[in-house]
Structure 1
Amino acid sequence: MPDAAIETALAHWAPRLIQNGVDYNDMTVTIARTETWADWLPQWNRTADEQAEFAREADATGHHLTAGQAWRRASVNRHFGKFVWMVDLDLAAEATRRSVEETRTALARLDPSAQRLEVPLPEGLAYANLRRPPGIDLPPYVVLIPGLDSTKEEFFYFEQSFLDRGMATVALDGPGQGETGLVLPIRHDYEVAVRALLDLLGSRADLDHERIGAVGVSLGGYYAPRVAAHEPRIVAVAGISGPFCFGDMWDDLPPMTRQTFVVKSGARDDEEGRRLALTLDLAGQCQRISVPALYVTGRLDRLIPWQQTQRQAEESPKGTFVCFPEGNHGVSNLPSRARPMIADWMGDQLSAGEPPLPR
């Protein structure tokens, strides 16, 4: 029988794993042999290693598409093994680095357009993955912003929703996230990282810098509106299950989520973590958003109450609120409905439209 922490993780995030590319069979096999939270990452590493070995065998026989798909599975398995897992920070950091490399290896085989970006910030480097839609010379682009301990490595299929509609994607690991978070802690003014990213991209002639969107998920649903409030180059923004004030729900968050925020923010203890969480507050910020803003959540969200996301919409001058009655956190249990809707909305705002069907 799995312990309480495993049951909590599955109750909150099992649909999210599947939505973002974890094979259902990988998940069931891994869970079946995991009895304690301490063993969660080691067992997911084992599953990831099995996929990586399959990928190497496929590469050796010249089957690079098969290899790329297996490398992607290895990466996302390893990522979700260390997701909100603060038991052994050195082991988690190593899993982060390996997941990054496995995604890079996968993208080299699955998407020739993919490029790794290094974004200079005053305190160090942030990292992002740029992907471009085929056959479009000057596409608009969307900055994809992860949440607490989520990363660009889990966005392969999310990116595809936008790529299929003619938009390029730039998935960013900002402060406190993924490989960037190994060095830079969470900061409430996330727009600093996006501003640096847009400055870096600004000289490129293969992107349309007049049509830039931002989309954030979970805590990224706080970051994205904050970016839109301060970065004039953003012309449309979408936030998914984002908090209005992250600190307001501190006592109701799962212990593993609070512990993750403490670690990723550089706080010394739970009380300082609470104080820093209270700085992630959109009071006075949403009113500054002058562009179209879409806010999406699920009424059954057990992490971020839907009313928090609704408040974002109510305080944004051009805010639209969509709440799926049966949706969970991130609406990850309804990806076939939520993701196309969000991508269609963003495509409409950026006038991207869907690329023509092949004849």
Structure 2
Amino acid sequence: MGLLFHDHLHDEFGTWPLAYIPYGGADFGEIAAVARRVGDGDDGDFHTAWIEAGDRLVTEAESCAAAGHDNSARELFLRASAYYATAYHPLYGSPVDPRLLTAFGKQRAAFDAGLAIGDTPVTPSRIPFEDTTLPAYLIPAPGHENSVRPLIVFTNGYDATITDMYFASAVAALRRGYHCLLFDGPGQGEMLYEQNVPLRPDWEVVVRAVIDHAVASPIIDPERIVLSGWSLGGHLAPRAASGEHRLAAVVADPGQWSVAAGARALGAAFGLPPEVLDDPLSMSAQDAEAIMSAVQADPALRWKLVSRGFWVHGVSDIRELFAALDEYTLDGIGERISCPVVVTAAENDPLARGAGVFGDRLGDKVTLLRFTDAEGAGEHCEMTNRTLLNRRVLDRLDEILAPGSHT
């Protein structure tokens, strides 16, 4: 597919919502209109165009709500939330851009307004966690609001939000009859933007608090709780399953046994010797400066490693980032996973290259689902064919959770 947006990074961010079209989170014409509005503009123009699109939908949603058109109002509020969520990706970084915080506030307000409409309104909740609370939404499957059903807990990765996860994953699961729980953990959404809480590798501690919260609900079947993670969540979810054993299954999309291995490969590509890869904090000032010069010269790499990486991990230089990434591995603990694992691997997704390690280490606990270019699903997180991804994953979960199943 050719570029919709002139700038490559804008195109990466701006076409992400294409995946949400089948689930009501976007429409192609609206995305294309935003792209035309941005034109050759900068990050500020990208932000403004998406905010204007979201504001337009909110205005229409409010009119629909006032006229009693609840279905339309709900759809418009939720879609506006997705557009606000798209607006601020180029603004990532520390210190936090005030425009990001404003857009995130609009996103949350629109999402909450949409979920509040309907026969069974969904209200935000808070999960006690250490000395703070995590934002969360327990959304019952339509038609099963008072029924005990299996639950899928969805966890994000580096830069997606609850809104993104709702459209990319939860809508399909809700239609299938699964209750869904969405939350922000450390380093994600509200926890990063407003509370300045960085990411942490011990995701089992985070998920333990989330499961404690979930099982208190009378509509949740405590024997059929699934944890599903996408993007970096494809590492965080199995990491959580290594220490939280109330899970009936875990989904890793894509499966990433060791983020640390990818970071070491990147360091090696930059010419770092093995002894520095073993101890990134020992990196010389000269090597650190050379790497940063290369990173700053590549807009995509600069965004991933500096704007996002430094901020999300709460670090201030490349040495600290490599040291932080070194902690994200299942080596030595992954074998503790006791539940079935559904692992995805898209053909062109570099993060999926090590997905086969799960089968090597965990044997028949693992189902590996491969996705290809020929199916239109060969890119990161199968974003150009989420319907295929969701169908195959949910079919497998149906099998795993079926009464009497031992698969």
TM-score scaled to structure 1, two decimals?
0.90
Task: Find the counterpart in structure 2 of residue 48 from structure 1.
Answer: 54
Write the distance in 2 (CA, Å) between the matches of 1:160 and 1:3.
30
The offset of 1:168, in angstroms, is 0.8
1:294 paired to 2:365: no
8 Å contact 2:242–2:338 — kept in the other structure? yes
Task: Find the counterpart in structure 2 of residue 116 from structure 1.
Answer: 124
Identify the match of residue 90 of structure 1 among 88, 98, 102.
98
8 Å contact 2:57–2:76 — kept in the other structure? yes
Distance 1:31 1:249, change over 3 A: farther
The offset of 1:192, in angstroms, is 1.5
Identify the match of residue 174 of structure 1 among 151, 164, 185.
185
Task: Find the counterpart in structure 2 of residue 357 from structure 1.
Answer: none
Write the distance in 2 (CA, Å) between the matches of 1:37 and 1:297.
32
Write the distance in 2 (CA, Å) between the matches of 1:125 and 1:4.
37
Give the alignment's Cα RMSD to 1 decimal: 2.3
Higher radius of gyration, 1 or 2: 2
1:309 paired to 2:379: no
Task: Find the counterpart in structure 1 of residue 275 from structure 2.
Answer: none
Task: Find the counterpart in structure 2 of residue 25 from structure 1.
Answer: 29
Task: Find the counterpart in structure 2 of residue 66 from structure 1.
Answer: 72
8 Å contact 1:143–1:170 — kept in the other structure? yes
The offset of 1:186, in angstroms, is 0.6
* AA partner of residue 69 (structure 1): E
The 3-state SS of whatever aligns with 1:149 is: coil
8 Å contact 2:18–2:27 — kept in the other structure? no
Unaligned runs of 5+ in 1: 354-359
The 3-state SS of whatever aligns with 1:209 is: strand
Distance 1:4 1:324, change over 3 A: closer
Write the distance in 2 (CA, Å) between the matches of 1:232 and 1:166.
23
1:319 paired to 2:366: yes
Write the distance in 2 (CA, Å) between the matches of 1:207 and 1:177.
25
Task: Find the counterpart in structure 1 of residue 315 from structure 2.
Answer: 267
Distance 1:208 1:115, change over 3 A: farther
The offset of 1:113, in angstroms, is 5.2
The 3-state SS of whatever aligns with 1:205 is: coil
Map 1:103-252 → 2, pairs under 5 A: 103-110=111-118, 112=120, 114-133=122-141, 134-135=143-144, 137-157=147-167, 158-182=169-193, 183=195, 184-250=197-263, 251=266
Write the distance in 1 (CA, Å) between the matches of 2:9 and 2:45.
11
Distance 1:208 1:120, change over 3 A: same
Stretch deviating more after TM superposition (316-325 or 99-108): 316-325
* AA partner of residue 115 (structure 2): L
1:100 paired to 2:100: no
The 3-state SS of whatever aligns with 1:102 is: helix
The offset of 1:331, in angstroms, is 0.9
* AA partner of residue 267 (structure 1): V
Write the distance in 1 (CA, Å) between the matches of 2:259 and 2:45.
29
Stretch deviating more after TM superposition (116-125 or 200-209): 200-209
8 Å contact 2:17–2:82 — kept in the other structure? no
Write the distance in 2 (CA, Å) between the matches of 1:89 and 1:242.
32
Distance 1:156 1:15, change over 3 A: same
Count of matched residue pairs: 350
* AA partner of residue 56 (structure 1): E
Identify the match of residue 10 of structure 2 among 6, 10, 17.
6
Write the distance in 2 (CA, Å) between the matches of 1:275 and 1:19.
40
Task: Find the counterpart in structure 2 of residue 356 from structure 1.
Answer: none
Distance 1:352 1:271, change over 3 A: farther
Write the distance in 2 (CA, Å) between the matches of 1:294 and 1:84.
32
TM-score scaled to structure 2, two decimals?
0.80
Stretch deviating more after TM superposition (157-166 or 25-34): 157-166
The 3-state SS of whatever aligns with 1:105 is: helix
The 3-state SS of whatever aligns with 2:50 is: helix
Write the distance in 2 (CA, Å) between the matches of 1:150 and 1:9.
11
Distance 1:230 1:274, change over 3 A: same
